[in-house]
Amino acid sequence: MNSTKIKLEDFDFFQEIDSHLLDIISSNAKIKEFDTGKYICRDGEEANVFYLILKGKVALEVNVHSKDSLVLQTLGNGNVLGWSWLFKPYLWNVDARTTEKTKVLELDGKLIRHECEKNHEFGYTLLTKLANVFVNRLQATRLQLLDVYGKK
Choose the weakest-confidence range: 23-32, 113-122, 138-147.
138-147
How far apart, in Å, are the Cα atoms of 84 and each of 2, 94, 150?
24, 9, 29
Q: What are phi and psi of 40, to 5 degrees?
A: -85, -40
State the average pLDDT for the chain. Answer: 88
The domain segmentation of the chain, as residue ranges, is 8-144
| Highest mean pLDDT (candidates 55-59, 122-126, 140-144) | 55-59
Res. 133 pLDDT band, cuts 50 70 90: confident
Q: How many residues does the chain have?
A: 152
Could you tell me which CATH number the domain at 8-144 has? 2.60.120.10
DSSP string computed for 1-62: --SSPP-GGGSGGGTTS-HHHHHHHHTT-EEEEE-TT-EEE-TTSB--EEEEEEES-EEEEE
Give the pLDDT score at 137: 72
Give the pLDDT score at 131: 86
